[in-house]
Structure 1
């Protein structure tokens, strides 16, 4: 069993207002946050937001400008007398976050600035039977293509996060995976980290989808959320109190490992129209793989056609979707009973083709729950995992931007965008 990563050491000196260096860093963090969250403003407006004197705010702004985190825009033409006041803004373009979604047959990448505004992306097909080394090499090639297309330099990346099917240990190792051949045991954070001079994080795809739905999707107004990610199998991620719940070893939400929960072989169940056993599922997927060059892509394409036909009202397809929903309802309801969420978001590759599966799950899950729960379709489609990876990377960047237990000097090697790689290439996780 992988060991938990060591906790970051506490600061050698207590953080208190009597320490001028700590007070300066507290003022800097507060000013930076107000500037980022409040938008462009004058010096006087910023001083009022933060609650500091005008001279102190001016001094802090000078430091932030020197660090490249704040900028001065041209004054707006005023209607009153006198010289227009200078205006300041957070420089969102000072750094970038990269989100990577790696599944059995495809890689998707999303690049965003420090406010989360998407600068661009890229997607490419992967050979589902490729060994891990070739898969990772293909991901690296996609990163190069994505950065070139968006005009973002690699050195501008301050954090990278990747999502993948399977259980991911705290150190970024894939400890269990039934979707991507050969993926189990891959030290994915370390392998990807060899390509970057910034922190690299790896997380389960359903967990990242849950983060994305709360950030920019259907769960924006909810703190306790379960995200159902329906694909080749159905995985689930959970947010409790607005925070991702991973469990001790990253396996929280993996109730689909129990066959009686009805969450395994979801795609095969749509393809065959029956509640398949593992052997029948493998046969169905293998047949499509031989016809289309990979178990993930052709199988999901076939399943989506079933969902589309059900959306048109085709009786046979509708019956198949209803049986699938009845099968999945056991596992979804079990998760709801365990966590009592205010919302369940249903997403993943099998939800893009229409909302019949969602409406059927809504009808079948609610009677099994002891309290009311909203069940909604994802608003993010197949971008959910990549956007969730961006959010995870931005959260790591925020840790560095707003922490006050170390100097904020841009020359400090532990500052944002600095290398978190040891000589061996291992990544120090957040």
Structure 2
């Protein structure tokens, strides 16, 4: 389909201003017949994949490049992407959590970011999470620090306007609420959701690994303190000894008052908006998580956009990355799904000055930095599995921490050998 001169000028104007700065050649081709090249392929998970098609209209209108978006389940994403790489079937562009970037870079799946200006405006914590030994193989797209959502009405009934910010006071609040509502729990912290436990570990200032990230460091006073506090939430029946599969609808349980506090992520804002008939806005609030002596670093999920090293359309692929990670697009995505922008300039927008977003903004200035090793994903799973055995009374904390260090040392055996041989720094 041919565009008239007026349409061509309009598309060119949009491209230069907001979509494809530095990709004028692509904009020029959009003013003629659509390219015979196949559509770009883009993969993302969860809400990002579900809602990403809404971001492609402006890109296609400005460039003439079609984008085929596939949303893949987050539980299967890692295996699917590795399988696609092995079969030379990775999409041109895809979203990766920060913890996976090092692994995919190591196997040669990622093209390096071609210019520093792609990341010039990115918040330093988001960029630090995305870099591999100081090099850029991904452009941060969004950042999601863990905070707590709480029921204002249930806290107010117990004499609290907001959650306390120290562990002891936070737990005492839970006891007070429990006395008033003995048949309900207080904290929605399920056993296969390890992020709250890791936030507690980070808040103690613990160093998770030692000896150049080749051995576990869980037999430490900091880890013992975090595990003891975490365990107390379950032994005092403030949190259920349950997996997420045993709670049919966590959101409904929160809305019904079965829990008063839910440590979670910005994506919960979307559910709270979509299902506001179940829980009106005035009944809930957001605050930073409590820490041993006040709020500290917490777990953070960061989403990043990467380009396959084997893409047949690198120019178009990087143009799409520029579009997806632009300030305007990140603000649009925040409206759609609650994702918080990774670009500093986006945070100057009035859209992000709402009081409900203030705890997220404050927490993003104090992120936790997980060890940047490809084995970290497996280590987190092992910690979660051992922690569940502690909560169920099958292991004491000292035995659990020793078991974690043993498992971590096994996972890191190959890395340790390579470090000792001088093969890796």
Structures share a fold, TM > 0.5? no
Q: Specify which structure has the bigger relative contact order, considering alpha-carbon pairs within 8 angstroms and separated by 6 or more residues.
A: 2
Compute the TM-score of the two structures, normalised by the length of structure 2.
0.30
